[in-house]
């Protein structure tokens, strides 16, 4: 069992990683609170697998617990599902001493966190992340929110969880495609921050893809440490430090939007990372050899990603221009200035971006829009 204590945005957050932590959720959480009501939120895939042990353990610890299950999938990050959670909270009269617990992937975490951020102007929440995307990325950093019909994550709040309980064995039931997509964010953390972690991914590819518990435990701990280090320095995305986490996301978000969110976020980010690495190489920030290493690593995890006209510059450029990271109409690119080092540049020529996207084109990818 590994326990990390952080302070994000002046709020303490404890992260516990270990086999069986979900079965001990009640005793872990009740160490710092007595009594109170809890709404556990999960989705239709995860609830039958992992929500029951969490609820049972909360009840055994003397907490009054109710379970809300939303349909699995991105569509649940909606105002309709949020309103249902508010109805549930009102019905159980959950007060300021109550809290919410998310059991699931990034969708459940973002939705539950936003409900917690806004119910009674903010109650505590706990995340029990069960997907790779959620354990390595979404559950650390306090970004919560839902989607608007005009775009993803447009409605949200910064609200830090008080506890994050991660059981690496949960990852074994993930679909392979979700496992691989989540790993894109792990590779991203390594590429922007830690060359040793890049080599570790190269060496541990098989146990990672096989979801070996010890390997996944180490992968999670190293990701949590990298994300926490960055978030601690810039909890509300103000100083620019946190912007480095957007490596691969400018083109990644454009692909996601252009194909109507039918591809996994991580698949799109993986394509975006290869293209951003190529831009870095063209600008002289990376050698050809270093770029090839980045591309080989990403593709070795089955993340060669999408095909067809949606990866053309013409299709993506309008989405890139509308990206949230565009400051004063210049696109702010997160690029690599070495393996494990990142830099932000706003002076990248459109022609360089067009060529990088063309070169990243992956005709053998099995996934199309």
Ligand X SMILES: NC(=O)c1ccc[n+]([C@@H]2O[C@H](COP(=O)([O-])OP(=O)(O)OC[C@H]3O[C@@H](n4cnc5c(N)ncnc54)[C@H](O)[C@@H]3O)[C@@H](O)[C@H]2O)c1
Please list the active-site residues. Answer: 121, 143, 185, 227, 237, 242, 246, 249, 253, 265
**131 contacts ligand X (rule: CB under 6 A):** yes
Structure tokens at 36: 């109170």
Hey, CA dihedral for 134, 139, 141, 147, is it positive or negative? positive
| 8 A C-beta contact, residue 145 and residue 109 | no
Near ligand X in 222-281, by CB under 6 A: 265
3-state secondary structure of 334: strand
Out of 124, 163, 178, 194, name the contact with ligand X by CB under 6 A.
178
Nearest Cα to Cα of residue 164 among 11, 56, 319: 11
Per CB under 6 A, 134 contacts ligand X: yes
Considering the rule CB under 6 A, would residue 221 count as an interface residue with ligand X? no
Q: Phi/psi at 334 (nearest 5 deg)? A: -90, 120
Minimum CB distance to ligand X, residue 43 (Å):
5
Q: Which is nearer to ligand X, 69 or 274 (CB)?
A: 69
Contact with ligand X (CB under 6 A): which of 19, 60, 72, 338? Answer: 72
Residue 153 interacts with ligand X (CB under 6 A): yes or no: yes
Total interface residues for ligand X by CB under 6 A: 30
Task: List the structure tokens of 171.
Answer: 């990852």
Of the candidate spans 3-11, 45-53, 186-194, 198-206, the one that interacts with ligand X by CB under 6 A turns out to be: 45-53
Residues with Cβ within 8 Å of 285's Cβ and at least 6 positions away in sequence, in order, are 335, 336, 337, 338, 343
How many residues appear in the chain? Answer: 369
Beta strands in 18-159 (DSSP E): 37-43, 64-70, 99-104, 124-129, 143-148, 151-158
Tell me if 107 contacts ligand X by CB under 6 A.
yes
Q: Where on the chain is the footprint of ligand X (CB under 6 A)?
A: 43, 45-46, 49, 72-74, 77, 104-108, 110, 130-131, 133-134, 137-138, 141, 143, 153, 170-171, 173-174, 178, 182, 265
């Amino acid at each position: 069992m590994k326990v990390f204590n952080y302070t994000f945005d002046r709020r303490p957050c404890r992260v516990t990683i270990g086999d069986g932590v979900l079965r001990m959720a009640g005793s872990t959480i009740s160490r710092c609170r007595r009594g109170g009501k809890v709404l556990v939120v999960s989705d239709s895939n995860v609830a039958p697998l992992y929500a029951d042990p969490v609820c049972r353990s909360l009840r055994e610890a003397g907490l009054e617990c109710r379970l809300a299950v939303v349909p699995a999938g991105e569509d649940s990050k909606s105002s309709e599902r949020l309103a249902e959670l508010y109805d549930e909270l009102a019905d159980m009269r959950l007060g300021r001493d109550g809290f919410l617990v998310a059991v699931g992937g990034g969708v459940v975490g973002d939705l539950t966190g936003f409900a917690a951020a806004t119910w009674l102007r903010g109650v505590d929440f706990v995340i029990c992340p069960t997907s790779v995307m959620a354990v390595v990325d979404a559950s650390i950093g306090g970004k919560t929110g839902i989607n608007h019909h005009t775009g993803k994550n447009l409605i949200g709040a910064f609200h830090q969880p008080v506890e994050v309980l991660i059981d690496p064995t949960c990852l074994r039931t993930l679909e392979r495609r979700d496992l691989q997509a989540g790993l894109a964010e792990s590779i991203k953390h390594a590429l922007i921050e830690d060359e040793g972690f890049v080599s570790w991914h190269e060496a541990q590819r098989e146990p990672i893809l096989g979801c070996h518990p010890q390997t996944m435990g180490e992968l999670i701990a190293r990701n949590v440490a990298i994300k926490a280090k960055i978030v601690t320095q810039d909890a509300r995305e103000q100083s620019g430090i946190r912007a480095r986490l957007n490596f691969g996301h400018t083109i990644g978000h454009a692909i996601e939007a252009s194909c109507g969110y039918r591809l996994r976020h991580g698949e799109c980010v993986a394509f975006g990372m290869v293209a951003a690495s190529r831009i870095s190489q063209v600008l002289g920030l990376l050698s050809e050899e270093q770029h090839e290493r980045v591309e080989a690593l990403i593709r070795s995890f089955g993340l060669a990603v999408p095909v067809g006209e949606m990866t053309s510059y013409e299709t993506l450029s309008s989405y890139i221009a509308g990206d949230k990271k565009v400051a004063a109409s210049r696109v702010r690119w997160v690029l690599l200035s070495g393996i494990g080092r990142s830099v932000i540049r706003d002076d990248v020529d459109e022609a360089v971006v067009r060529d990088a996207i063309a070169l990243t084109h992956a005709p053998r990818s099995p996934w199309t829009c």
